[in-house]
Structure 1
Amino acid sequence: MALSRLEKAQVWLFKAVMGVFSLLLRFLSPRRPTVSGKKLPPVSNPLLLLSATQLAKKIRRREVSSVEVVQAYIDRIQEVNPLLNAVVKDRFAAALQEAAQVDKLIEEETGGEEVLEDRLPLLGVPLSVKESFALLGMPFTTGMISRRRVVATVDSPLVAQLKRAGAIPLGVTNTSELCMWGESHNHLYGITSNPYDLERTSGGSSGGEGSILGGAGAVIGVGSDIGGSIRIPCFFNGIFGHKTTPGVVSCENQYPPTSGRQDEYLSSGPMCRYAEDLLPMLKIMAGPKAHMLSLNTKVDLKKLRFFTIPHDGGSAFTYPVSKDLIDIQRKVVRRLEADFGVKVQEVQFPELRYGFQIWDTYMGLPDKEGKPPKPFAELMGEPGRPAWPVWELLKWMIGKSEHTLAGAIKSSSFIIQQKEKLQKEVEELLGTDGVFFYPSHPRVAPKHHHPLFRPFDFTYTGIINILGLPITQCPLGLNEEGLPLGVQVVGGKLQDHLTLAVALYLENTFGGWRDPGAN
């Protein structure tokens, strides 16, 4: 399709602005200490190579103590975090005390292993938590200097549910400023690196989680996603993640809070290194609403209908999908067809080329009472007066802003029609037994700050938020540079169990997470 005059003007303006920013960034961007030639050490403790499900079983059976497991992860965090800057505040002493209490509980338990598994399925297993979730006694700033003294006084519901299931939080992890950017960088905690290449981004906004999980400093964690904030870090860092159907897992006690209609697009979900941990974590995190997702239903992959969408059709705002990602998605298709005798149909939706405009429009829509979403500038200024983005940009140019550049620069009926048409077509395609594969991003993890030059590439994940669909992000090995490949597995509303089942198959077929220190 030819671009309209408006689209051509938008593209021209975007390229001009990015050209100016690229020159500024050469001189003004904060630098990390040189990491050239450095890489993460390989995993040496075999406990770090077990899933949370396996660890919980060994702890219940007294084959290993919770203290041993927690200490193993503390040691790994202390080994890799100076390189990654992923964990921004730890609670190691408290975690070891809680692990000792777990071991004492197991020693005194008389009901048997089955009772413990039913009541405390994650008993004694370490957990990492995105800093935008309230974790009692821990920082709750979302990277904002103005919130540097804010400490959580409660646990967010999903964190409380995981703790009640026996999980032991080790600390909180870095985010982008206000969770509003695809790179975990802020002026309170600094920038987080990718475990596969320290000169590359870990993504955002759950980039600290993605980094510490990918670096084997955690086995399970939690993230939130309104435009790709679970899936992009999981993709860049070579791990699994699940964006749940909205409205199932609680999003309370997160910062920033949603406004307007944003609660329709925000999801919280599990992030982990091993696919078998996704479903049990989701059951726990969903709490009383877990029944909505049919998570106990056995899935026969031979009976599913599979589709593949190789790209967005040529949006004016996103870059073309790279060859290595196109090729790995084709390989997934060929393996499915060979292993199950199914036919994977390639489809395309012309409306996807308007993905960014759809996401941007719907994020700004008012709620049912007509109240618009809270302005980003107002959130940036809290707890004081609203920030003035133009002034912050000018201050940033001379190194005086407390905010990152991404924070400082921050509806037409036609777009709404495109979304409604796309929604109808996708829901009819998927039904209750269909899944489709879609690129997670146009490219593998880029260098630090480079997302500023391609700010709309998140559209590959963001458009799925607006459609309200569940997605499981799956790693698919490494490319020739040793960087993670991956794909989104998308299902119909409330059909989360289908995408989770496909994730188990893809892990078995493509090898799942790879130790970055061994590559």
Structure 2
Amino acid sequence: MASLFTVRIRILLLQVTGFFINLVGQAARVFGGPKLGSGITRPVSEPLLLLSGVQLAKLIRQRKVKCIDVIQAYINRIVDVNPQINGIVKYRFEEAKKEAHAVDKKLLENREDDATLEKKWPFLGVPFTVKEAFQLQGMPNSSGLVNRRNVISKSDATVVALLKEAGAIPLGITNCSELCMWYESSNKIYGRSNNPYNLQHIAGGSSGGEGCTLAAACSVIGVGSDIGGSIRMPAFFNGIFGHKPSAGVVSNHGQTPMVRGIQELFLSTGPMCRYAEDLVPILKVMAGPGIKKLKLDEKVNVKDLKFYWMEHDGGSIVTTKVDQELIMAQKKVVAHLETVLGASVQHVKLKQMKYSFQLWITMMSAKGHDGKEPVKFIDMLTNLGNPIRPLWELIKWCLGLSVHTIPVIGLAMLEKNLDYDSEKSKKFQAMKESLLKELVEMLGDDGVFLYPSHPTVAPKHHVALTRPFNFAYTGIFNVLCLPVTQCPLGLNTKGLPLGIQVVAGPFNDHLTLAVAQYLEKSFGGWVCPGKF
């Protein structure tokens, strides 16, 4: 088995490889690559696009706005800016317009009052988008894998069906990274998604298409999934809200790739949106029967909460340092909570956080309580039914012959070589349990933990390859199975979004969601790209 020294050498080699790939990518852009502007140049001019899902639903139910006008406004926006960001990869405009007309007809014939209609259809007529990894009837479901490019969904994923039942209307499916296993959304089927605040920067992954679509006001609510930060990283990079629910609350059924064993606890399906007031209503719909595990109707007085914060992971050898602008943004939040809100705020040092990547990779490789082995990533990457050979695939990629992206090939090589012996695995599993106990005891039922969403703001395209393990800032909370909400905190000096994670104890999602609404009111929330 690999020694710790050998593991470090492999990590270094992967980072050096990423550095050179980054240089190649930059050269490609300079010498004949696509010329991209700094960001979306057209701000939102249609007022309907600046309303939350809750507000839109109310106006539609009260017959003050026609559903078809809302849907058409979003279609016009998508046609206008999606070619720049490549967030939505397959439209369903004609179907959406038919469904909108049906909603208007229903309201014309149904004279029930607003409260009755809200109970039946809380998101009646509200447009939404869906990560391509989820089944949406009649739409592709490849998860960015070339050998699945012709797969068309014959039914809806559970969360998609629940949102449809709540009256929401899907506009299309959004881009993701290949097999949802990288934090830049790019694949050989749909190409690359771009950040609407600066097209030269990543939209994140794996729900990156969803993130940039929402940020660009091409949708108002969206469906994402998260096993290492795939909701929260793109939400952070694109300046929107994203919530990873407590483990086992929202159904993961109907998405690709499938997981099994203990990984089922780590994968979370959750909402992404521009406005914090949409988070609780969306989660209520998406959770279905799982809503009984949460306390979303419990009133939260944010002032009475206990706040804990930590500005970085304590010095991990595999992650980069946290940007000073992100630390300053976090300190502004802390100062506001102390001086304006008068809340209890305590700085903490959780020593085991610096092993976040090691804890994540160990737990992702562990057997479940039922003894089932987790699905191996390399087994999902098949060539005519046979698992790929990573080194050979790398050679093919260098020759321009591979159907896979370089991050996926690198991850397959890492999975094949980065392994812990049983003793090391037991050590990290025990460390995970110790960290979880420390956090749960610290937070109780009235505490939240503030922690960076990522060490840096959205990096430029390809740069993520030189920082492959920075996702540990989000991934650690997947293996701890805790609820987390990513909250936007405005823009930095270069116009890229800032943000922070708000973490709570198990099944205390209502606490993080209440803090999200408070931070939105205090720091402004989503900022429309192209406005400044």
Moved more, 430-439 or 10-19: 10-19
Extract unaligned runs of 5+ from structure 2: 412-419
Q: In structure 1, what is the Cα distance between the partners aligned to 2:188 and 2:5?
A: 35
- 2:75 — aligned with what? 74
In the TM superposition, what is the alpha-carbon distance from 1:310 to its structure 2 partner?
Answer: 1.1
SS across alignment from 1:440: coil
362-371 vs 233-242, which moves further: 362-371
The offset of 1:376, in angstroms, is: 1.2
The residue that corresponds to 2:34 in the other structure is 33
Whichever residue aligns with residue 478 of structure 2, its letter is: N
Q: Is the 8 A contact 1:239 1:513 kept in 2?
A: yes
Correspondences of 1:231-310 after superposition (within 5 Å): 231-310=232-311
TM-score by length of 2: 0.94
**Aligned partner of residue 448 in structure 1, secondary structure:** coil
Match of 1:512 in 2: 525
**CA offset digits 1:152-192 (Å, max 9, x no partner):** 11101110000000000000000000000011010110000
CA distance in 2, matches of 1:23, 1:334: 41
Alpha-carbon offset, residue 506 of structure 1? 0.2
Residue matched to 1:418: 431
Aligned partner (choices 445, 458, 462) of residue 432 of structure 1: 445
Residues 38 and 200 in structure 2, CA contact (< 8 A), matched pair in contact too: no
Structure 1 segment 106-117 matched on structure 2, within 5 A:
106-117=107-118
* Residue equivalent to 1:183: 184
Cα displacement (A) at 1:371: 2.5
Q: What is the CA–CA distance in structure 2 between the aligned matches of 1:221 and 1:71, rounded to whole Å?
A: 18
- 1:150 matched to 2:147? The reply is no
Q: Deviations over 1:377-402 (max 9, x none)?
A: 21011772212212111111111110
Give the 3 Å change call, closer, same or farther, for CA 405–105 of structure 1 in structure 2: same
What does 1:44-123 correspond to in 2, within 5 Å?
44-123=45-124
| Cα distance in 1 for residues equivalent to 2:219 and 2:39 | 21
Aligned-partner Cα distance in 2 for 1:262–1:327:
35
Q: Name the aligned partner's letter for residue 486 of structure 2.
A: Q
What is the aligned-residue identity percentage?
A: 52
User: 1:7, CA displacement in angstroms?
Assistant: 4.9
1:451 and 2:448 aligned: no
Structure 1 counterpart of 2:16 = 19
Match of 2:417 in 1: none
How far residue 37 of structure 1 moved from its aligned partner, in angstroms, is: 4.5
Which residue matches 2:491? 478
CA distance in 2, matches of 1:375, 1:492: 30
Q: What is the 5 A alignment of 1:480-499?
A: 480-499=493-512
> SS at 2:386's partner residue?
coil
The answer as to whether partners of 2:22 and 2:466 remain within 8 angstroms in 1 is no
For residue 370 of structure 1, report the CA deviation from its aligned partner.
Answer: 2.4
Matching of residue 125 in structure 1 with residue 126 in structure 2? yes
For residues 306 and 16 of structure 1, do their structure 2 counterparts lie closer, same or farther at Cα, with a shift above 3 Å needed? same
Aligned match of 1:42: 43
Number of matched residues? 515
Distance 2:118 2:39 in 1: 41
Contact 1:475 1:487 in 2 (8 A): yes
- SS of the equivalent of 2:381 reads helix
Is 2:305–2:344's contact at 8 Å kept on the other side of the alignment? Answer: no
- Whether the 8 Å contact between 2:210 and 2:223 is mirrored in structure 1 is yes
Higher deviation after alignment, 403-412 or 142-151: 403-412
- Aligned-partner Cα distance in 2 for 1:287–1:24: 44
User: What SS class does the counterpart of residue 427 from structure 2 fall into?
Assistant: helix
Which amino acid letter does the alignment assign opposite residue 95 of structure 1?
A: A
Distance 1:17 1:256 in 2: 24
Superposition RMSD on alpha carbons, in Å? 1.5
**TM, length-normalised to structure 1:** 0.97
Distance 1:156 1:342 in 2: 41
| Structure 1 residue 401 corresponds to structure 2 residue 402 | yes
